[in-house]
Structure 1
Amino acid sequence: MRKQFLFIFLALIVANTSQAQTRTTRIGYIDMEYILENVSDYKEAKAQLELKAQKWKQEVETRKLDINTLKESLKAEKALLTKELIEERETEIKFQETEMMDYQQKQFGADGNLMRHKAALAKPIQDQVFTAVQDIAEAKNYDFVFDKSSDLTILFSNKRFDISDQVIRVLNRTEKREQLSKKQLKEQEAKEKLENEIDENPDMKDRQKALDSRKAAREKLIEDRRLEQEAKKKEFDDRRKAIKAEREGKKNGTVSEPTQSGTPADGTAKPATATEKTTTEPSTTVNKAEERQKMYEQRKLELEERKRKILEEREAAKKAKEAETQKSNTTNN
């Protein structure tokens, strides 16, 4: 059957080529399994089905344990039983084994509940995929679109002919459109147009990836600068609070002055007062400010190191692009 299908496929390609020699035949393929695994509705339903299958497996294991228990009991008591009782027990065990096998076949057989549930689960998504594939094929003039996960054997396939991601985007767009406002719908259409252009032009796809990479690096640099400014502001506020607390202490007379003797005349140690305790607060705040200053300097060094790496990556990309351009010019000449 597969050989006949392959022969028909080759015949169609030859016929199409002979009828339209001036037009290049466009062939694409999809991976149905990959698409299904990336559709949220299918993944949720599949998880629920796996829970059911797990319960069925536990039921089978429970029946097996019960049968083994009966066998062990018969083996231990066989010498004490009559022939009729032994035959009766063996008949019961055989009956339960048959029931267990029937149950296992019913749930996990080729035409069992698990396979039928899987087929019923995939059917609506597959219908949506087929519709999406037809729309993409008509819009982009594909002559053939195959399913890589089907019985058709594909020995080699170039990734640029894989339209699975395009199909996933179409399915996600359909789901999102129902929840978007007019303004959001317009923005979504513009985004879809750009994605379609990228799909049609591999060079544009590479350029878009480079732009996205630069954008991400730029956003990270802006975020690092914002964090740096916040650290500076916090450090300034801490210093100002420390100075203010010290001035308030001096103004209110809470800062202790050095004395000739650290103890009173009676020789007893004077207990610490509340005013003396307050003098330690500014110094503690200053210590915290110094720690933050160290953290800020460390953060600054890390930012400088990141900037250096980003510049090196950009320079390397620039040199690689120049080398590629030079190679292309040499080839054309």
Structure 2
Amino acid sequence: MKTKKLILFTFAILCFGYMATAQRGVRIGYIDMEYILESVPEYREATTQLEGKVQRWKQDLEKSQKEVDQMKLNLANERVLLTPELIEEREEDIKVKEDEILTYQQARFGPNGDLMIQRRQLVQPIQDQVFNIVQEIAENKKYDFIFDKSADVVMLFAAKRNDISDEVLRSIERAGRRVQAQSKKEKREIEMQERLSPEKQEAMTEREKEMQAKREEREQAMAEKKEEREQAMEEKRSELDKALEEKQQEREKAIEDRKTEREEMMAKRQQERDSIRAAKKQEFEERRQKMIDDRERRRDSILNARQKN
């Protein structure tokens, strides 16, 4: 019903405007506020921050709800063991917790909650700026009506040539550049652009878009080349590291081989020394045994001689 009344009211205004300006024709334009908002970097950044807050609020609600569910489960499991007074106390605790959740939910997501307030605070400055720019454009270009495409007004058809959203965006961007301009040269360039006709401004904007596209294309190509160079350098580093590792393994193997050879050589020499010592010891034992045998024979010979005499 509200929409129908709005359509009839809009139609009546259009008819009245057409009758009043039949000699020159009615000039109608429109904007898309949602498109404008989404194209403003500050709005996107603030929206992202607000979404982060919303996610934290939702997590707080989920955490509190899980606590309530656990309290109800514990009460159900322990009800037969509790006295009526304790059951009543537990149920009161659960109700208090549920009331806290409801209060928190209303405070964050209700009609007058933090989410709605911060969204209004986020959108209001840009809406005010758009309103002032639309007034200026309407006066300069002699528009009779300018609508917001994203509002409740039903637009069954809208020719693209009547869309002044990009023109509003350019004005917002120029205002931002004026605020950010530091040198006198930058300020003069902005003033010269603002003195140009809308057609020339649009042509300049198109050239700037083309130049920006070419810059982005060059930057993309440079980034790809840089990535290729880094990848090639990484491959070379990997090959060098692999070669160094192989050489290190070869050196370690050579050192281990030399160590094994020395150990084998030392073991062989030790074996030879042990063999020589064993041979000398055996020879010494043989000489000693021979001397003992010779003494015993001489002694036996002397004893035999004495016995004969």
Please give the range of the TM-score, normalised by the shorter of the 2 chains: 0.5 to 0.7
Aligned to 2:241: none
Aligned to 1:139: 140
Q: Look up the SS of the partner of 1:41 in the other structure.
A: helix
Aligned to 1:187: 189
TM-superposed deviation, 1:177: 1.3
TM-superposed deviation, 1:7: 2.3
Alignment of 1:219-234 (within 5 A): none
TM-superposed deviation, 1:54: 1.8
TM-superposed deviation, 1:212: 4.6
Alignment of 1:277-296 (within 5 A): none
Matched, 1:150 2:151: yes
Aligned to 1:7: 8
Aligned to 2:120: 119
Alpha-carbon separation, structure 2, partners of 1:75 and 1:56 = 29
Per-residue deviation, residues 107-132 of structure 1 (Å, max 9, x unmatched) = 11122110111112211111111001
Alpha-carbon separation, structure 2, partners of 1:193 and 1:157 = 29
TM-superposed deviation, 1:77: 1.3
Cα 1:195–1:80 shift into 2, 3 Å: farther
Aligned to 1:196: 198
Alpha-carbon separation, structure 2, partners of 1:195 and 1:49 = 39
Alpha-carbon separation, structure 1, partners of 2:104 and 2:184 = 54
TM-superposed deviation, 1:75: 1.8
Q: RMSD of the alignment, in Å? A: 3.1
Runs of 5+ unmatched residues, structure 2: 226-309
Alpha-carbon separation, structure 1, partners of 2:201 and 2:8 = 31
1:174 is aligned with what amino acid? A
Aligned to 2:296: none
Alpha-carbon separation, structure 1, partners of 2:113 and 2:136 = 35
Per-residue deviation, residues 221-280 of structure 1 (Å, max 9, x unmatched) = xx99xx9xxxxxxxxxxxxxxxxxxxxxxxxxxxxxxxxxxxxxxxxxxxxxxxxxxxxx
Aligned to 2:278: none
Alpha-carbon separation, structure 2, partners of 1:84 and 1:61 = 29
Aligned to 1:329: none
Alpha-carbon separation, structure 1, partners of 2:104 and 2:179 = 43
Q: Look up the SS of the partner of 1:154 in the other structure.
A: coil
Per-residue deviation, residues 76-101 of structure 1 (Å, max 9, x unmatched) = 21221122211221221122112211
Q: Look up the SS of the partner of 1:37 in the other structure.
A: helix
More helix by share: 2
Cα 1:20–1:155 shift into 2, 3 Å: closer
Aligned to 2:282: none
Alpha-carbon separation, structure 2, partners of 1:97 and 1:42 = 35
Q: Look up the SS of the partner of 1:178 in the other structure.
A: helix
Aligned to 2:31: 30
Cα 1:140–1:77 shift into 2, 3 Å: same
Q: Percent identity?
A: 46
Alignment of 1:279-318 (within 5 A): none
Query: Following TM superposition, where does structure 1 have runs of at least 4 consecutive aligned residues deviating by more than 4 angstroms?
Result: 192-195
Is contact 2:193–2:201 with CA below 8 Å preserved after alignment?
Answer: no
Is contact 2:28–2:143 with CA below 8 Å preserved after alignment?
Answer: yes
Aligned to 2:78: 77
Matched, 1:39 2:16: no
1:188 is aligned with what amino acid? I
Alpha-carbon separation, structure 2, partners of 1:216 and 1:92 = 65
Q: Look up the SS of the partner of 2:111 in the other structure.
A: coil
Matched, 1:100 2:121: no
For these two proteins, the number of residue pairs brought into alignment is 216
Alpha-carbon separation, structure 1, partners of 2:200 and 2:149 = 23
Per-residue deviation, residues 308-332 of structure 1 (Å, max 9, x unmatched) = xxxxxxxxxxxxxxxxxxxxxxxxx
Is contact 2:18–2:26 with CA below 8 Å preserved after alignment?
Answer: yes
Matched, 1:164 2:184: no
Q: Calculate the TM-score normalised by the size of structure 1.
A: 0.58
TM-superposed deviation, 1:198: 5.2
Per-residue deviation, residues 13-44 of structure 1 (Å, max 9, x unmatched) = 22222232221211111111111122222222
TM-superposed deviation, 1:165: 1.1
Aligned to 2:53: 52
TM-superposed deviation, 1:169: 0.9
TM-superposed deviation, 1:162: 1.2
By relative contact order (CA 8 Å, sep 6+), the higher-ranking structure is 2
Q: Calculate the TM-score normalised by the size of structure 2.
A: 0.62
Cα 1:112–1:216 shift into 2, 3 Å: closer
